[in-house]
Chain A
Amino acid sequence: MEWRDEGVVIGVRPHGETSAIAEILTAEHGRYLGMVRGGRSRHMRPVLQPGNLVMVTWRARLEEHMGTFQLEALSLKAGFILAHPLRLAGLNTLMAMAQMMPEREPHPRLYNAAHVVLSQMEDDAVWPALLVRWEMGLLDELGFGLDLSRCAATGQGDDLAYVSPRSGRAVSKGAGLPYHERLFLLPAFLNGEEGFVVADVLEGFKLTGFFLERHVYGPRQIQMPQARAWLCENLKEQMAA
C-alpha cells in the first residue's frame, strides 16, 4: 500500500531513540499517523515541527497497519511563528483542535482552511478570524455545524445578530433582543460581512468554544486545549492596549 499527498504536521512524539511517530493532516487522506524513521535526527527535527507543510509518502504492507512516512519539506512555517506569542498560541490551538478530527477520514475543506490559516499567520489582522472560521468548519465536518443561514424564530435571512446556545441556530435582532442575555452574539464576520475587530474575534471564539466543549470535548471527557485560553487572553490584552 502506498500513497503520496500534501499535509501539515500537527503532532510528533518520539519513538525509540531515533524514530518518531508523526501525526499529519493530509489533503486527501485526512488525519494520519505514521512512523518516521530517523525522525529525531538533526536533519528531520526542523521538518517535524507542528505547522510545517510537507509532502508525505505513506507506505505499509496492509491498509490497517500504521505504516511509515517519508517526508519532504514544502514550507517550514513553524520557524516564522516561534518568536510571536500570539501566533504560537494560534498555531497550538489549530494543531490541538485538528487532533479532534477522526483518523483516516478525508476532510479536504478543513485541510484547505487550515492551509489558509497557516499561510496568513504573518498577518495578525487576518488569521484570528480565519481560525474562528476554521473552528466553525471543524464543528460542521464533525456533524455539529451551526445553522447561521436564517433566523430560528422568524425564518428571515437578514439582520441576524445572535446564536441560540440550545439549537445552534441564528436568531434575528428583533426576535432575540428580549432574550439577548441568554444568547451568543453573532459576530458580523461570521455572517458574511467584511471587516472585524478583536472583540468580534473573541465573540467568535466564545461561540465556537461553547459548541466545541458541548459536542467534541465534553463527551470525550477531555479539556479544551490550554493554548486556546492563552490565545483568548492574549487577544483580550491586545484589545485592552
Chain B
Amino acid sequence: MKRQAGPEIERLILLLSKIPGLGPRSARRAVLHLVKNRDKLLGPLASALADAHDKVSECSTCGNVDTLNPCTICSDVRRDKTILCVVEEVGDLWALERASAWGGQYHVLGGTLSALGGVRPEDLDIDQLVSRCAQGHIKEVVLATNATVEGQTTAHYITDRLKKLGIATSRLAHGVPVGGELDYLDEGTLTQAIRARRPF
C-alpha cells in the first residue's frame, strides 16, 4: 500500500490499530485527531501512557491491575475483608465496581478452566485463592464467573476446593435481565429464572 505519512505517524497508526475496537481505518482517524490536537490530546496522552507503562502492575493480593500494590481496592479500609468475590478477568471486576454492587474484596482468576481449550487449574490463580481463604478471615466467597459452561465448571471446581476449608460459597443468580423479553430468552435461562423465583 502507498504510504500516506511519515514513519512515525505510520507506526502510531499501526500500534493503535492493534487495540480492541480499532481497525486500520479507525486508527487512522484517531491519529489524525490526535495530531490535529497535538497540545490538548497527543502530549497528555503520551505522558499518560508513559506513566501507566511505568507504574501499572498486577496486585499481588487479588490480581487486579493498578498503579498501587496492593491495589486501591485491597488497601481500602472501608471494604469488608470477610467476603470475597471471584471473577474471571479484570474487566469483570471493573464491571462490578461500575455497578457499585460489591463492598467486599475481589480475586481475579485470569481465565476459566476449559476441557476443550486445555486450561487446567494450575494455569489459573486458584491456588492463590485457596491459600488466601486458608488464612482464616474470609467467611464467604461469591463466585461471579460467567454463566457459560466453562465459567460454571470453574465455579464448581473452586466450590469443591473451598468445601475442605469450610468456607461458605454462593454464586450469582441467573435469570431475566433488565429489559429482557421472555420471548427472546433461551430455555436454560427461563428454567433457571422460574426455579429461582422469589415471593413478590
Interface residues of chain A, those whose CB is within 8 Å of chain B, are 10-11, 13, 17, 23, 45-47, 49-51, 73, 75-83, 85, 88-89, 91-93, 95-96, 99, 225-227, 230
Contacts and interface: CB of A to CB of B under 8 A. Distances in A.
A74 B181 CA distance: 19
Interface residues of B, number: 23
B72 to A, nearest CB: 29
Contact of B152 (A73, A88, A226): A88
8 contacts: A17-B20, A77-B188, A79-B188, A80-B188, A85-B160, A89-B153, A91-B149, A227-B153
Given A91-B149, A92-B149, A85 B115 contact: no
B114 to A, nearest CB: 9
Interface string B81-117: 0000000000000000000000000000000010111
Contact of B188 (A82, A85, A88): A82
Given A76-B187, A79-B187, A88-B156, A227 B115 contact: yes
Interface string B168-200: 000000100000000000111101100000000
Contacts of B157: 230
B149 A82 contact: yes
Given A96-B116, A230-B157, A79 B186 contact: yes
Instruction: Please classify the interface of chain A as helix (H, G, I), strand (E, B), loop, or mixed, using the class held by over half of its residues.
Output: mixed
B28 to A, nearest CB: 18
B115 A93 contact: yes
Contacts of B192: 79, 82-83
B33 interface: no
Of B20, B115, B153, the most chain A CB neighbours within 10 A belong to B115
Nearest to B119: A226
A136 to B, nearest CB: 20
Interface in B112-156: 113, 115-117, 120, 147-149, 152-153, 156
B189 A46 contact: yes
B6 interface: no
Contacts of A11: 116
A95 B116 contact: yes
Contacts of B113: 226
Name the 5 nearest CB pairs between A and B, nearest first. Answer: A79-B188, A85-B156, A76-B186, A92-B115, A227-B115
Of A11, A47, A76, the most chain B CB neighbours within 10 A belong to A76
Given A46-B188, A46-B189, A51 B115 contact: no
Contacts of B116: 10-11, 23, 50, 92, 95-96, 99
B102 to A, nearest CB: 22
B7 interface: no
A13 B112 CA distance: 13
Contact of A49 (B21, B117, B148): B148
A37 B134 CA distance: 45
Contacts of B153: 88-89, 92, 227
Nearest to B151: A82
Given A10-B116, A79-B186, 4 more contacts: A46-B186, A79-B187, A88-B152, A95-B116
A11 B21 CA distance: 25
A93 B116 CA distance: 9
Contact of A80 (B21, B147, B148, B191): B191
Nearest to A73: B186
Given A82-B152, A88-B149, A88-B152, A225 B21 contact: no
A147 B191 CA distance: 42
A13 B118 CA distance: 12
Contact of B149 (A13, A49, A225): A49
A51 B153 CA distance: 14
A16 B188 CA distance: 27
Contacts of B120: 226
Nearest to A96: B115
